Amino acid sequence: MKVGILAGGLGTRLSEETALKPKPMVEIGGQPMLWHIMQSYATYGFKEFVVALGYKGEAIKDYFVNYRYRNRSLTVRLGSGDIQMHDGESEDWTVHLLDTGADTQTGGRVKRLARFVGNEPFMLTYGDGVCSLDIRDLVAFHLYKLCWTGRPEFV
């Protein structure tokens, strides 16, 4: 099951932090909120993420494109441009980063996730939705309700 993450809002309530970066990239304990959210899902086996980008989405792209380099020791051969990574491991995640437009509202962002999510159940959260939750229990609850009633039911 894939995880959709809405990471496109302006983050106006944290304007002192979000003038230079989007709210999901505000750090908690040395890692962006977005990483903490993804780590929570990955703990329960959900490792494919579809991130709907908007405001300052390039900062999120830069973070993930350079993720392996940021979290390891490196040797850079300046003459050739070769980079050798040392130590450390990276998370085994797949991260789809979708440009959904700076002015696109929530519904439009969710709609644009559809081509990557497909015709299957998926989870959806906001890029600042950091919490402590047993995601297996949450999914089991909703799948049970779906099977029991024969139709999606939100409670």
For residue 155, the model assigns a pLDDT of: 46
The average pLDDT across 124-151 equals 81
The average pLDDT across 125-140 equals 89
Range of weakest confidence among 35-49, 81-95, 131-145 = 131-145
Taking the C-alpha atoms of residue 9 and residue 103, their distance in angstroms, rounded to an integer, is: 9
Question: pLDDT tier at 120 (50, 70, 90 boundaries)?
Answer: confident
Q: What are 32-86's pLDDT values in tens digits?
A: 999 999 999 999 999 999 999 998 999 999 999 999 888 889 999 999 999 999 9
Name the average pLDDT for the chain.
87
Assigned CATH topology for domain 2-130: Spore Coat Polysaccharide Biosynthesis Protein SpsA; Chain A (3.90.550)
Alpha helices per DSSP H over the chain: 15-18, 33-43, 57-65, 67-70, 106-117, 135-149
∠ CA(64), CA(67), CA(70), 5° rounding? 145
For residue 144, the model assigns a pLDDT of: 73
Whether 150 has a pLDDT exceeding 60, the answer reads no
Taking the C-alpha atoms of residue 50 and residue 152, their distance in angstroms, rounded to an integer, is: 22
CB 56 within 8 A of CB 10: no
Maximum pairwise Cα distance, the chain:
64
Proportion of the chain above pLDDT 70, given as a percent: 87
Question: pLDDT tier at 142 (50, 70, 90 boundaries)?
Answer: confident
